[in-house]
Amino acid sequence: MTPGPGRFPLGTGLSPIVYGRRMNDPFRILIIPLLLVSLIVAPQALHGQDGQAYQVLYAASDRYYSLETLCAHFRQVIEVTLLRQTRSGEGTVCQQRPDRFSMRFSDPAGDLVVGDGEFLWTFYPSLDDMQVMRFSAEGAGGGFNFYKSFLEDPHGRFEAVHEGREPMGEGLSHKIALKPRETDGLRSANFRSAVVWFDVDSYLITALEIHDTNETIRRIRLTDIRVNLRLSDEEFRFVPPEGARVMAAPEGAGVITR
């Protein structure tokens, strides 16, 4: 199995050595118990909740990067807290590595998000059947490619905490809380925080809760997950309807979710 990018070995990195003092030296008497405590406590911290979180994330990364395609049924609820509105929908989501993505709604029927490798398209006829938005795939695709969003260099990009196991779908899932790391005031991801559930056996994502920077909360559950399907090119192709307004989003603009 090919490991995901950014894989790292977990270890304590501790090498405690004390030099140059006799056993009856008061400093020596003090430091040895402290070192013994550190040897007991530090590995627990490194291999406890946080260490377990990264073990799950890297196992999931290995699993995802061993797949060619993945499809699942999704149910989505979006809370637009600033407007006190809630929107829901469901349908089928498919991904094909490295950069193909489709999210086709059965409810409301016809709504879709498609990433063809060059652009990411959004078309929500339930809201406006004559408007299409086009985003650069590089700038916007990660927000919809769930696996890429959370599993590329997870240790370098996120502070992660394992919050236990919970029933999700037909089995148990690891619950991992993520917070993007910041460098010079810039977040490593385009959301404020997230919780991701991974099946304890397959390490595939079963649910997500994403808190965006605009205070929107997006909850998604994935069921009927199928992998390594043969998908046609049409699955990741979108042609705007005749007469529709195609609006190119500014570089770096966030994708509007329905």
Confidence band of 50 (pLDDT split at 50, 70, 90): confident
* 33-42, 167-176, 184-193, 235-244, range with the lowest pLDDT: 33-42
d(CA 75, CA 143): 17
142 vs 232, more confident: 232
Residue 79 token pair: 């809370």
**φ/ψ (deg, to 5) at 114:** -135, 130
- Structural domains of the chain, with CATH: 58-248 (2.50.20.10)
Instruction: Name the average pLDDT for the chain.
Output: 80
Segment 108-129 mean pLDDT: 95
* 50-59, 126-135, 249-258, range with the lowest pLDDT: 249-258
145: phi > 0 → left, psi -120 to 50 → alpha, else beta; which? beta
217 vs 4, more confident: 217
Segment 131-158 mean pLDDT: 82
Place of tokens 């406890």: 48
State the pLDDT at residue 15. Answer: 32
Is pLDDT of 258 > 90? no
d(CA 70, CA 226): 6
State the pLDDT at residue 86. Answer: 95
d(CA 122, CA 210): 19
State the pLDDT at residue 142. Answer: 54
Is pLDDT of 207 > 60? yes
Segment 102-131 mean pLDDT: 95
Residue 167 token pair: 């029933």
Whole-structure pTM value: 0.76
Task: Compute CA 177 distance to the chain's CA centroid, rounded to the nearest angstrom.
Answer: 10
d(CA 65, CA 68): 8
Longest dimension (CA), the chain: 89
State the DSSP string of the chain.
-PPPTT-------------S--TT-HHHHHHHHHHHHHHHHHHHHHHSHHHHHHHHHHHHHHHHHT-SEEEEEEEEEEEETTTTEEEEEEEEEEEETTTEEEEEEEETEEEEEEE-SSEEEEE-TTT-TTEEEEEEHHHHGGGT-HHHHHHSSHHHHEEEEEEEEEEETTEEEEEEEEEE-EETTEESSSSSEEEEEEETTT--EEEEEEE-TTSEEEEEEEEEEEES----GGGG---PPTT-EEEEPPTTPPPPP-
**φ/ψ (deg, to 5) at 72:** -155, 160
State the pLDDT at residue 34. Answer: 33
Confidence band of 252 (pLDDT split at 50, 70, 90): low
